[in-house]
Structure 1
Amino acid sequence: MTEKDTLKRSLGPWAIVGLGLGYMTPTVVFDTFGIVSEETNGVVPLAYIVALIVMLFTAVSYGKMVQVFPSAGSAYTYTRETMNPHLGFLVGWAALLDYLLLPMVNALIIRIYMESVFPDVPAWIWVVGYVIIVTGINVWSMGKTSSLNSILVTFEIVLIAAFIVLAFVKLYNGMGQGTILTTAPLFHANVEMTAVLTGATVVCFSFIGFDAITMYTEEAKNSKVMPKAIMLTVLIGGGIFFVAGYFAQALFPDVSNFNVTDDTLPEIGLYVGGTIFKMIFLAGAFAATTASGLASHASVSRLLYVMGRNGVLPRKVFGYVHPKFRTPVYSVIIVGVVSLLAISPSLELISAVINFGALIAFTFVNLSVIAYFVFRKKRYKTPKDFFSYVIMPVIGAGLTGVLWYFLHADALIAGLVWITIGFIYMLFLTKFFRTKMADFEMDEAEKSAAL
């Protein structure tokens, strides 16, 4: 491939962490608070702890694999190169369900915010306007996307800090639990672990982003920083989710105060700081969701680009890189078109379906570590290697499997339908397995690292 056909290396380590945090959208803890609080019977921060533990094991596996295959493509590339091209395609197809729907979720959340402020304006206007802006920025430049994302992420973190200060005052004055230090948000008599695990499958949605930053590997100034960037994204994001979830749960032990549980952020802002803070809080959440929209839109277009470059999607469309902007312009536009579907669906349903694709990706990244290091490299003979390449990924895959078991039925049904469509497409693509999947063209550095 010539230079004009490759992505531009313009991202430093903190820019990548910022994109990950932007993708994760720290304020989403307030959006899904009502859903998770109702699901877990009032222990939202505990659900985040469970999810964080699972994510940490999986993050370690992502860090290992991104060093072996320093290219965009994430779980799709890792499974394809370590196990089987057909299985890799199905994993990539499942991950598409996750990555394609998340930009749509951001558009959906923006719609909900704007409807709460301007209830008389048709919903489609907000969705169309938002999608056009985010798509245009992503077409223009990855560097511009990163810079704007950093500003928006900083703004939302400041707003979350302001919420914590106001929550501190409200608790001190007797609201909610009436005390700043309480174990009730973590455990009480009516807590059931099955409900907590079900809640953890919902909040996994909040962590989607640490894995997506592997999509930016080909645009990192130095791909060796990726493992550190992945861990920092998980730990910083998880810390924000836990602290914000703790104070929100202490203030609102149940959901009885909320008129709309599908997205409780506007009402949380109102109850904690009044009308003025609600508007500021909404502005911060708007910034956060826009940051996530920019990051998620960018990452899924990179996955489509890699699948197009490999020939498993039409190469002329998905594998095309604009010669001036050096961005996968057609893939970016297609993601924008899909995001327009945010005009009507429910946040709870779409977030549950997203988790299907995410959990498949997480499971196979853990298995890819075993397939590559144990079966190909024979790295299991020393205690250190056995712990790193067998025990750790097995625990990661096992914990992900537990979340699989508690996934919502609607998400399983929708996910299995999507996988079936992908399998039928693969049969067509390979002429019922009579031809091979298209070969992935790694550059020389990638080839030597993978050997």
Structure 2
Amino acid sequence: MTVEQRPATGHADLRSKGLSTNSVGLLASVVLGVSSIAPVYALTATLGPTVAEVGLQMPAVFLAGFLPMLLVAYAYRELNREAPDCGTSFTWTTKAFNPYVGWLCGWGALLATIIVLSNLAGVAVSFFYLLLGEITGSESVATLGDDRFVNVLTCVAFVALATWITYRGVEVTKRLQYVLVGFQMVVLAIFAVLALAKAGDAPGSISFDVSWLDPTAISSFSAFTAGLSLSLFIYWGWDTCLTVNEETAGSARTPGRAALVTMLVIIVTYVGVAIAVQVYAGVGTEGAGLGNPDTSDNVFAALAGPVMGPGLAFLLFLAVVASSASSLQTTFLPPTRTMLAMATYGALPRRLADVHPRFLAPSTATLVAGAGTAAFYVGMTLISENVLIDTIYALGLMISFYYGLTAFACVWYFRRDLGRSARDLVFKGVLPLLGGLALAAVFVQTAIDTLDPAYGSGSSVFGVGSVFVIGIGLLVGGAVLMLLWRARHPEFFRGETLRRDTPALIIDE
């Protein structure tokens, strides 16, 4: 008879939330993941800033950013197999560590999604009016998105529409995404092919060099981490596959597989487009060069005409609108499911656990997410355009924080399984640990770098960079809210609603 200590696999404390079941298959899960990442939107927002940080090594940074995301995806897969719950990072870090770590991890995930949702809406508005201007031939219509009142009003309308669609459940979301994701991926492929085909005629074009894929050629570690922080942003969103795990057929295995497939699709897309754009435009500061602020601020807007021609340029504008709109909708899924789980286990107000009896989707949580997104965007826009820009840079801190904690949670939760087989050691231990360490390094280095007011838009608060103030300040604010909630509702923090798993005595005859 042998006695072995390992985590118990029965989770009587995990509760059904009342969501629809078997509504999402493997293909739909991958489509939701790609939609949340929003490749066209993510690229137009980060191609220019990434070149500003690392120059010709932009494709290398995209490859480097993919690695920790892939490693963390293995952690999500293993944890989902053990405890499929729509709270994902919140639930798993609570069970692996304690309720305090779990609450803060959930808070970091909520912050990241609200920031992304607000910026998605802003990009959708800008390209919506660029598209209308392209169709009507009116420059005044194309610039309507620059008018603050029009911008804010249109943004709120977009958020309201996305909230309404999400409110009606994952089935409606899924059907719409097949069209939007398929369209944007086809247009992105056409753009990349045409950019390569026309590169020889472009004034700033350069020849591809394999050294572009070498991250060691980046000038400094700070530049590397700055570029890596931006590349983490463009991969963020694949975990949507996991947040709909309770609504997925084969909830223990399908979401993890979908996350890995999503990552592979995205890395091929990103590196291919990055190389094509760099070959066509170069990284110079003149003309269409990616180092020119007029280009880097909005790469696809600057290159749509030269690359695709006047007859097809509107397709790229439409693709950005489709990418932003589709991601705006699917990105509502993670925060609503996180709030639903946190409320179910008593970590947030019970009202957020409401599920619509007809649509079988979070009702109150969806409305709160929509209102929070609109309020955040309006507030940041009215304060300063620079503040809105700095939220994108601060997003890297949020992503590193909660993804990294989830990776470490996997290693700690399965620590007594690591000696059972080579597979357990690699997929439950080594790979998640490496991913967690990489993200921890990015978090620490980014936090140090963002203390400098020159980081991001160049704004500061009492001499401290506004990116640091936004990123770290919001995380610290979460800790204060957590303590206030604990004072009024201590049950969750005492482990009464969601317990920390402890090793169980398993006796094998």
User: TM-score with structure 2 length normalisation?
Assistant: 0.80
**TM superposition shift of 1:321:** 0.5
The 5 A counterparts of 1:362-441 are: 362-374=403-415, 377-380=416-419, 382-407=421-446, 409=450, 410-431=466-487, 436-437=492-493, 439-440=496-497
* 2:72 aligned partner: 58
Q: Which amino acid aligns with 2:401?
A: I
**TM superposition shift of 1:427:** 1.6
- Name the Cα RMSD after superposition: 2.8
Does residue 332 of the first structure (1) align with residue 366 of the second (2)? yes
Q: Distance in 1 between matches of 2:249 and 2:262?
A: 18
Does residue 167 of the first structure (1) align with residue 192 of the second (2)? no
**TM superposition shift of 1:210:** 1.3
Q: Select 1:349's aligned residue among 385, 390, 398.
A: 390
**TM superposition shift of 1:44:** 1.6
Q: Select 1:320's aligned residue among 351, 354, 365.
A: 354
**TM superposition shift of 1:320:** 0.5
Contact 2:408-2:433 at 8 Å conserved across structures? yes
Larger Rg, first or second structure (1 or 2): 2
Q: Select 1:78's aligned residue among 92, 96, 102.
A: 92
Does residue 97 of the first structure (1) align with residue 131 of the second (2)? no
Q: Distance in 2 between matches of 1:130 and 1:76?
A: 29
Q: Give % identity.
A: 20
* 1:67 aligned partner: 81
Does residue 143 of the first structure (1) align with residue 171 of the second (2)? yes
**TM superposition shift of 1:184:** 5.9
* 1:46 aligned partner: 60
Q: Distance in 2 between matches of 1:93 and 1:240?
A: 31
Contact 1:356-1:411 at 8 Å conserved across structures? no
In structure 2, the CA distance between the partners of 1:436 and 1:313, relative to structure 1 (3 Å rule), is closer
* 1:274 aligned partner: 309
User: TM-score with structure 1 length normalisation?
Assistant: 0.90
Q: Distance in 2 between matches of 1:10 and 1:271?
A: 43
1:206-228 Cα distance to aligned partner (Å, 9 max, x none): 11111232111011022121221
Contact 1:255-1:261 at 8 Å conserved across structures? no
Q: Which amino acid aligns with 2:107?
A: W
Q: Select 1:212's aligned residue among 240, 258, 281.
A: 240
In the alignment of these two chains, the number of paired residues is 442
1:313-341 Cα distance to aligned partner (Å, 9 max, x none): 1112x111111111111111111112223
Q: Select 1:234's aligned residue among 258, 263, 276.
A: 263
In structure 2, the CA distance between the partners of 1:416 and 1:189, relative to structure 1 (3 Å rule), is closer
**TM superposition shift of 1:136:** 0.8
1:78-117 Cα distance to aligned partner (Å, 9 max, x none): 1001110111001111111112211111101112223544
In structure 2, the CA distance between the partners of 1:255 and 1:297, relative to structure 1 (3 Å rule), is farther
Q: Which moved more, 1:416-425 or 1:405-414?
A: 405-414
**TM superposition shift of 1:156:** 0.4
* 1:359 aligned partner: 400
Q: Distance in 1 between matches of 2:38 and 2:72?
A: 19
Contact 2:206-2:282 at 8 Å conserved across structures? no
In structure 2, the CA distance between the partners of 1:255 and 1:209, relative to structure 1 (3 Å rule), is farther
Q: Distance in 2 between matches of 1:2 and 1:367?
A: 24
* 1:262 aligned partner: 297
Q: Select 2:183's aligned residue among 155, 161, 169.
A: 155
**TM superposition shift of 1:197:** 2.8
Q: Distance in 1 between matches of 2:435 and 2:99?
A: 23
Q: Distance in 1 between matches of 2:216 and 2:411?
A: 41
1:328-380 Cα distance to aligned partner (Å, 9 max, x none): 11111111112223342456422222222211111111111111111xx4433
Contact 1:171-1:251 at 8 Å conserved across structures? yes
